[in-house]
A and B are shown apart, each in its own frame.
Chain A
Amino acid sequence: MTSTGWFFVEAAARLLARDEREAVLGDLVERNENVWQGLLGVLGLAFRQGAVPWKSWRPWLAGFGVALPSSFLLMGFSLSVSWSYLTIRCPELLQKSSLTLGSGSLVLLCQALLLIGWSWTGGFVVGSLSRRTLWASTLLCCSPCLFCLSRFRLESLSRFCLLLFLVPAIWGVHQGLRISTMKVSWAITVAITITALMLPDWSSGAHHWWAPPRWTLNWALCWPAWYLVATARRAGSKAGLRGGGLWSGQREQQTGMS
């Protein structure tokens, strides 16, 4: 194998884990394979390893069930929260909306809590379901964000208002990566709180004949919270009585379980 060719094979081998790279490059040298065979072998291995997680339903659910639709819906809700904030800051808008400062602040607080809850639970589910395919979920979340940012035209609000949901979502992803499941009681508390905060919207109908009622969209954002309850209950029943603490998955994490 020529040194130039070997350079390409070594570069491709950077896609592999350190120990695996060492073993594979050693095998290629020992068998005296040519550049083409070596390159194909290394790229084939990297492709196969990348494809392995996609045999499971989890990364599909994380990407196409949570990251992609939730980013669209949460951008809309981020805008709604920003608009509520603007309303209570501007007396003219407050008067037009027939809200008092107190009731407007309460609406803003509920919306902000709901945004944090939806984003955090969605992020947690994405993080826990797609550890090895997080890049794909990130891509599926960022694509609609970039699309909407490029088309955002509202003088009274900054375009970055669309991205308010990202902070709690990233926090949720981080937590989901660190730990596998929440403790049942905490998962139930979070899910019930989010559902309770959604109640005021249940009575509101569609603004247009073609638009679905808002509560159906809210449920699309709420299901990750109840999914966390289901996984926490399943993990709890598998593990039996486990020690206290906020996160039931911490022990699994400590023992190296992904």
Chain B
Amino acid sequence: MLGEFEYLLITAAAGLGDDAYGAAIREEIEATAGRKCSIGALYTTIDRLETKGLLRTWMGDATPQRGGRAKRMVRVTPKGVLAAKAFYDAVTRVSRGASWVADRTGGAS
């Protein structure tokens, strides 16, 4: 089972598709989850997920806006997609009947 941050990272990387790399994933997580994401947390989690076979990374091209430094590109593997789906399903199942979910449903109707 994935951890919460691992799920955020995989989801952000999957959403960015071919443009998924360190800085872009950080921005995506900070923008959507509304939480700070340190470089340390990001890259150690990428390393861990790559070791588990849930991500694949490779060095991309260098660009001028990065001072001529290469990006570490990230792609979610099929195994990573399955793990993220399992996490999402578990959260959805466990959230059924929770007060905040019921409140939201009640508010909408």
Contacts and interface: CB of A to CB of B under 8 A. Distances in A.
Contacts of B47: 49, 52
Given A23-B21, A26-B22, A26-B63, 12 more contacts: A23-B72, A24-B22, A26-B23, A27-B23, A30-B65, A31-B23, A40-B38, A41-B39, A42-B39, A45-B44, A48-B40, A49-B47
Contacts of A25: 67, 69
Interface in B46-70: 47, 59, 62-63, 65-67, 69-70
Contact of A26 (B27, B43, B66): B66
B59 A45 contact: no
B40 A23 contact: no
27 contacts: A19-B59, A22-B69, A23-B22, A23-B59, A24-B43, A25-B69, A26-B23, A26-B62, A26-B69, A27-B22, A27-B23, A27-B39, A27-B66, A28-B39, A29-B69, A30-B65, A30-B66, A31-B26, A40-B38, A41-B38, A42-B39, A44-B40, A45-B39, A45-B40, A45-B43, A49-B47, A52-B47
Interface in B1-56: 21-23, 26-27, 38-41, 43-44, 47
Contacts of B72: 19-20, 22-23
Interface in A29-76: 29-31, 40-42, 44-45, 47-49, 52
Interface string A223-255: 000000000000000000000000000000000
Nearest to B27: A31
A76 B76 CA distance: 55
Q: Which bracket fits the contact residues of A?
A: 20 to 34
A62 to B, nearest CB: 21
Contacts of B23: 26-27, 30-31
Interface of B: 21-23, 26-27, 38-41, 43-44, 47, 59, 62-63, 65-67, 69-72
B40 A47 contact: yes
Interface string A8-27: 00000000000110111111
B40 A26 contact: no
A160 to B, nearest CB: 43
A229 B22 CA distance: 44
Contacts of A41: 38-40
- Give me the 7 closest cross-chain CB pairs, A-B, nearest first: A26-B69, A44-B40, A23-B72, A41-B39, A26-B66, A45-B40, A27-B23
A255 to B, nearest CB: 15
A22 B71 CA distance: 8
Contacts of A19: 59, 70, 72
Contacts of B22: 23-24, 26-27
Given A22-B59, A22-B70, A49 B44 contact: yes
B14 to A, nearest CB: 19
A24 B41 CA distance: 12
A24 B23 CA distance: 8
